[in-house]
Amino acid sequence: METLLNAEQIEEGVDRMAAYVQSVCPRPPLVLVGVLTGSLPMVADLIRRLDLPLRLALIQARSYRGPKHQQGELKIDDRLLPDLRGSHVVVVDDIFDTGQTLAGVVEQLQRRRPSSLHSAVLLRKQIGGAKSVEPDFVAFDIPDKFVVGYGLDLNDLYRNLPYVATLDPGEGP
């Protein structure tokens, strides 16, 4: 395991994300929508940095299955979302790679008629190919490597690490 981003760097990235969120929400109501489960540590840190009234909501989106983390069909569970009509919404996710998750979540949220809808991600993998959507805010661009820590996992492990690290093939449980 090799550290890619240490805890201080992540803090700086979350600070930049907080400034971005403050800039796109001219007035309440703001609804911050965290994508479960990987965004939880970042969302917890982010809301403590925001100096404006907000509501917190969660949505679950999963497309990776099994120990080999192969991408499959995107499954979205939006039962935890409040009414978003007329709200300024910022969806927050841990990582952007293929764009499939963000595109699906944005589509689901747009159906709820928010006043505005923005997206912010901690990490964006530098991988080729056209994407149907790009995040509005990216804290860090990273190489196309498998990463864990700060919410990111391998078989639901390593989410608790205070840093982001790369795993070499064969590493992990």
List C-alpha distances in Å: 99 to 12, 53, 92, 103, 158. 24, 29, 13, 6, 23
Query: 115-159 pLDDT, tens per residue?
Result: 999 999 999 998 877 678 999 999 999 999 999 999 999 999 999
Q: What is the pLDDT of residue 161?
A: 97
d(CA 102, CA 1): 27
Identity of the amino acid at 98: T
DSSP summary character for residue 154: B
Active site residues: 97
CB 83 within 8 A of CB 111: no
**pTM, 2 dp:** 0.89
Q: Residue 139: is it exposed, middle or buried by C-beta count within 10 angstroms (0-12/13-18/19+)?
A: buried
Query: 23-37 pLDDT, tens per residue?
Result: 998 778 899 999 999
Which phi and psi (to 5°) does residue 96 adopt?
-120, 120
Question: Peptide bond before 37: cis, by omega within 30 degrees of 0?
Answer: yes
DSSP summary character for residue 51: -
Query: 108-127 pLDDT, tens per residue?
Result: 999 999 999 999 999 999 88
Please state, for a pLDDT cut of 90, what percent of the chain lies above it.
Answer: 71
For residue 123, what is the enclosing H or E element?
Answer: strand 116-125
Q: Which residue has the higher pLDDT, 80 or 15?
A: 15
For 107, other C-beta atoms within 10 Å of its C-beta total 12
Compute the average pLDDT of residues 49-62. Answer: 92
